[in-house]
Amino acid sequence: MSSDILLQFCVAGVTYGIIYGVVAIGFTIIYNTTGIINFAQGEFLMIGGMTAVTLHQHAPLPVAILGAVVITMLVGAAIEVLFIRWLDRPSVLRMIIITIGVSIVIREIALHLWDEKSHALPHFTGNSVSALTVAGAKISPQVLWVIGVCGAMVLLLSLFFRATPLGRQMRACASNRDAARLCGINARNMVTLSFVLSAGMGALAGCVVSPITYVQYDSGAGLAIKGFTAAILGGLGSTAGAAAGGLILGLLESFGVWLLPAAYKDAVAIAVMLGVLFLRPSGIFGSAEAARLREY
């Protein structure tokens, strides 16, 4: 295999990986603050993308994206307030099924609100075939946008968690909710905030990847599964782990296509997930001890 073919597979893998990684980071934010795996995470990307496409018909692109992010954040808040907030010490099983139910309901509402068609925002710079050459491999400028926007989001997120009072409050909640409450932190609002943040990130990610992946009403579920795989691959609860897990998964998929019939590409991803679950549930970067101590 020549070097530029090899590199092209790498570029493809990185493209997939960034997208899975950003979904995984969205999972991680909510998981850290609440211990809930939000199976509706993929739907945030879908809503963001679809809303942006609709708004773009009436407004310039940056306004449309901003609008989509805000609307999706409101949806995230609504989900938390309507479905999660008032539950009384629900079991894990119940929470899983609730978020699955939310994901299905959102998907079907999206089908009837929009339609069954595929949509996409225009490429931010250039068009669908413009490409930059990097060491013999072609990479679309949109992929660079994805890397840039997602990287910026991750950076801002860690700044937020480290340097702002609100962020530190959220981290306190994630570590030990009771102690945080004793310090006067309003745990319920932190939970809502985590949903809002996750939704916003998901929406922005959905907008910036839509020129590559297209969005349609059912694109949420597939992304959620890949995102979850990336999150546990990297170690659930770690943002950096989620990003790394995404990249690793993307590369594994890409080279899987090279080695196996492409028809089994998804089976490779699921096999990776099952492998991680069975062999090392704490993930590559997670600590096995911490995983055991986590309550669920």
Partner 1 sequence: MAARGRGFGFTAGLAAAIVLVQIAASSAHKVFYLTQLTMAAYAMLVVLGLALLMGYAGQASMGQAGFFAIGGYVAAFLTTFNLGPRRDTLLVSLLAHAHLLVTRPDGSGGSVTHVQPWAAALFAITLAAAIAWLIAGPVFRLRGHYLAMATLGFGIIVHRIFLGSSYFGAADGISDVPALALLPGFAITGRAASRVSNYYAAWGLVLLTLWMLTNLIGSRIGRALRAIHGSENAAAAVGIPIARFKTQVFVLAAVLAAVAGVLLTHYNGGIGPSDASVMKSVRYVAIVAVGGMANLRGALAMGTVLTFLSLRGYFGSFDDLVFGGILLAMMLFAPEGLVGGAIWRRLRSMFSGKRRGDDRTGA
Partner 2 sequence: MMRKVTILSVCAALLAALPAAAAETIKIGAILAVTGPAAFLGAPESKTLEMLAAQVNAAGGIKGMKVELVIKDSAGDAEKALSLAKQLVEEDKVFAVLGPSTSGESMKIKQYMDENATLLLSCAAAESITTPIMKWVFKTPQNDANAARWIFTDMKKKGLKKIGVLASNSGFGKAGQAQLEKLAPEFGIEIAISETYAKDEVDLDAVVTKLKAKDVQAVVNWSIEPAQAKVPVSIRKMGWNVPIYQSHGFGNIKYADACGPASEGILFPAGRLLVVDVLPDTHPQKALLMKYKKDYEEATKEAPSTFGGHAYDAFTLLAKAIEVGGLDKEKARAALEGLTGFVGTAGIFNFSATDHNGLGMDAFELLTVNKNCKFVLAQ
Residues near partner 2 (CB under 8 A)? 1-2, 5, 8-9, 11-13, 15-16, 19, 111, 115-118, 120, 127-131, 133, 138, 140, 209, 212-214, 216, 218-219, 222, 253-254, 257-258, 261-263, 265-266
Residue 84 backbone phi and psi in degrees, to 5: -110, -40
Q: Of the two residues 34 and 140, which places its CB atom closer to partner 1 in the complex?
A: 34
For residue 176 the two structure tokens come to: 């030990």
Residue type, 152: A
Residue 133 backbone phi and psi in degrees, to 5: -100, 125
Cα(227)–Cα(265) distance, rounded to whole angstroms?
15
**Of 248, 219, 284, 229, nearest in space to 18 by CA:** 248
CB of 1 to partner 2, least distance (A): 6
Residue type, 287: S
Which span sits near partner 1 by CB under 8 A: 13-21, 52-60, 119-127, 256-264?
256-264
Q: Of the two residues 202 and 237, which places its CB atom closer to partner 2 in the complex?
A: 202
Q: Give the residue, chosen from 7, 35, 81, 212, that forms a contact with partner 1 under the rule CB under 8 A.
A: 35
* Angle value at C-alpha 135, between 133 and 136, nearest 5 degrees: 65
Question: Is-contact 35 173, C-beta < 8 A?
Answer: no
Residues 188-207 touching partner 1, rule: CB under 8 A, are 188, 191
Which residue ranges make up the site for partner 1 (CB under 8 A)?
34-37, 83-98, 100-105, 107-109, 111-112, 177, 181, 187-188, 191, 221, 225, 228, 232, 261, 263-264, 266-267, 270-271, 273-274, 277-278, 281, 295-296
